[in-house]
Every structure is written in structure tokens, then in C-alpha cells.
């Protein structure tokens, strides 16, 4: 595979993550709650990943039973809460705002790496954090008009998605030292399904699964916006350095904003668009300062 094909795979994978709002909002319209949509996503993604691993390399199923704690931690603290915050933010605010707040994750990773791994907090990183803060202020409408355009709850949910996404990269570090990223993702979705299904209330909404269109949205969520983009992205990473890949991946919130505008008639102010540019700029700035392993850790474990 040449470099151009790899870049295309990465861009396509990020774009497929960006269209997730189409499937999530449609499932909301049908009658599913955010926690139920999370359960649907992790369960269907696990199903498709099992099929993929069976066809690719069955040895990737093997883990030590004593290593299960790796996945329990990442599931409870990160995957379930990350998806719940992201999907709830999309319902509370908008797809565009939810995704740009999700992209505060690199800033959280920078802070956590400084606190827990004693990594240097360089001038470039500090600049990125300041730019992120200003960009978020523009996105939520606090600056320059000093009148928030989204609720405090929506803002907390958006930041929560970035926080828990960042925590996944931190807690997933131990697992990735012992297992392939595909194995980590597979078992993360397995444990997530086991953890969330009993509390999701999906059984009480069994009648909602009777429509063919519902299954179309479920497949779209689990396959096209979860499993497939992960495969495409990690495939592209084999031939492109992670720094370039992470920058290309910033197309995700751009696609999400286009989906919000074209499909759901969402509109943003000029200051909110400026805030989006600032947040994306900070992502590029902070990623440029990371080494290859750290960047791959942040991006490869996304689900």
C-alpha cells in the first residue's frame, strides 16, 4: 500500500466516525435513550469485530484471564462513560458542538501525562492548552458575547466525552504493552457489552427492533461508524507516521459539523466556527510535540 492510499484510509476512517450523528439521532427519534444507544453501539461493534478477527487472525482472541482487569478499568471508566457523554451531548447541544468538545481529549492527555507520567509541560503544550480553553469558550458562546449558547449540562457532557476519551488512552496503555490494539478493542467492547446491557433497559424496548429501518441504523452505528473506521484507521497507520495521521483525523469534527448542518439544519455563529478552528489548531500543535508511540496510543484505541 502506498502513502496516498494510507492517507485516504485514515481520512475515510475519520470521516466515518464523523457521520455517527446520523445513526445516533435516528435511534433517538425511534425512541432509544442515550444509554441504550451506547449499549447498541458496543454490542454490535463487538459482533462485527468477532467476525473480522475470525477471518484475520484467531490468535488475537487469546488473553490471560489475570489480565482481565486491564479491560474492566478501561470499560467502566472510559468506554461506557465516553460514549454516554458524547451521545448525550449530541442530544443536549448539537452534533457540531459535541464533537468539537470531544477534541479537547489531547489537552486532557497532556495534563494527565504531566501529572501521572511526569512528562515535561513544554511551552508548545501550554500554548495548546490555552488555545483549547479559548476555543471552547468561543464554541459554547461564553466569549466574546459573555452569553452561553448551550446549557451548562451540555457543556459538561461535551467536556466529559473528551475527558473519558483521554482516560481511555491513559488506562489502555498497560493493555497495549501486552496485546495487539485489535485484541484490546475487541475485549474492551466485550466487557463494555457485559457491563452495560443489564442496565440499559433494551429488553423493555424490544418492540423497537421490529422495524427493518431500525436494523439499518444499528448496522450503520456498529459497523460503518465504529468497527470499519477503526480498521481503516489502523490499516493506514501501518504506512503513515502517527503525527500526520492525527492531523488528518481532525477531519472528523469537520465532517460531524457538515452532517449537523446538511442533515439536521444545525447552525453555528462565526465565533463558534472560529472556536472550532482554534481547538483543531491546538490538537495539531500538541500532537506535533508528542512522540510516535504516544500519538498512536491516543488514536488507535478509539472506538
pLDDT of 292 > 50? The answer is no
Distance, in Å, from the CA atom of 214 to the CA atom of 14, rounded to the nearest integer, reads 24
pLDDT of 293 > 50? The answer is no
pLDDT of 295 > 60? The answer is no
pLDDT score recorded for residue 214: 96
SS3 letters across 24-63 = HHHHHHHCCCHHHHHHHHHHHHHHHHHHHHHHHCHHHHCC
pLDDT of 173 > 60? The answer is yes
pLDDT score recorded for residue 236: 83
Render the burial of 222-237: b for 16+ CB within 10 Å, e for the rest: bbbbbbbbbbbbbbbb
Q: What is the mean pLDDT of the chain?
A: 84
pLDDT score recorded for residue 88: 95
Distance of CA 153 to the CA centre of its chain: 19
pLDDT score recorded for residue 148: 57
pLDDT score recorded for residue 288: 59
Distance of CA 249 to the CA centre of its chain: 11
List the single range of 12-21, 81-90, 131-140, 236-245 with lowest mean pLDDT.
236-245
Which pLDDT tens digit goes with each residue over 176-226? Answer: 778 888 888 888 889 889 989 999 999 999 899 999 999 999 999 999 999
Domain ranges of the chain: 3-300
Distance, in Å, from the CA atom of 266 to the CA atom of 224, rounded to the nearest integer, reads 23
Amino acid at each position: 500500500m502506498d502513502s496516498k492510499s494510507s492517507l485516504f484510509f485514515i481520512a475515510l476512517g475519520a470521516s466515518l466516525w464523523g457521520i455517527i450523528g446520523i445513526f445516533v439521532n435516528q435511534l433517538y427519534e425511534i425512541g432509544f435513550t442515550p444509554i441504550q444507544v451506547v449499549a447498541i453501539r458496543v454490542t454490535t461493534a463487538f459482533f462485527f469485530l468477532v467476525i473480522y478477527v475470525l477471518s484475520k487472525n484467531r490468535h488475537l482472541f487469546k488473553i490471560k484471564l489475570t489480565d482481565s482487569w486491564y479491560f474492566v478499568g478501561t470499560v467502566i471508566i472510559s468506554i461506557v462513560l465516553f460514549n454516554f457523554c458524547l451521545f448525550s451531548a449530541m442530544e443536549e447541544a448539537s452534533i457540531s458542538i459535541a464533537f468539537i468538545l470531544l477534541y479537547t481529549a489531547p489537552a486532557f492527555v497532556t495534563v494527565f501525562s504531566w501529572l501521572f507520567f511526569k512528562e515535561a509541560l513544554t511551552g508548545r503544550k501550554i500554548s495548546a492548552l490555552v488555545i483549547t480553553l479559548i476555543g471552547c469558550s468561543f464554541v459554547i458562546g461564553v466569549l466574546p458575547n459573555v452569553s452561553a449558547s448551550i446549557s451548562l449540562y451540555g457543556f459538561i457532557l461535551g467536556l466529559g466525552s473528551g475527558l473519558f476519551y483521554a482516560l481511555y488512552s491513559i488506562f489502555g496503555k498497560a493493555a497495549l504493552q501486552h496485546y495487539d490494539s485489535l485484541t484490546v478493542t475487541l475485549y474492551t467492547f466485550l466487557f463494555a457489552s457485559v457491563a452495560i446491557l443489564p442496565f440499559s433497559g433494551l429488553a423493555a424496548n424490544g418492540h423497537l427492533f421490529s422495524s427493518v429501518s431500525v436494523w439499518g441504523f444499528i448496522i450503520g452505528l456498529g459497523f460503518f461508524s465504529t468497527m470499519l473506521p477503526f480498521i481503516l484507521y489502523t490499516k493506514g497507520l501501518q504506512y503513515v507516521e502517527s503525527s500526520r495521521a492525527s492531523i488528518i483525523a481532525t477531519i472528523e469534527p469537520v465532517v460531524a459539523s457538515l452532517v449537523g448542518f446538511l442533515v439536521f439544519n444545525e447552525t453555528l455563529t462565526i465565533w463558534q466556527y472560529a472556536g472550532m478552528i482554534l481547538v483543531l489548531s491546538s490538537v495539531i500543535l500538541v500532537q506535533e510535540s508528542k512522540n510516535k508511540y504516544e500519538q498512536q496510543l491516543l488514536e488507535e484505541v478509539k472506538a
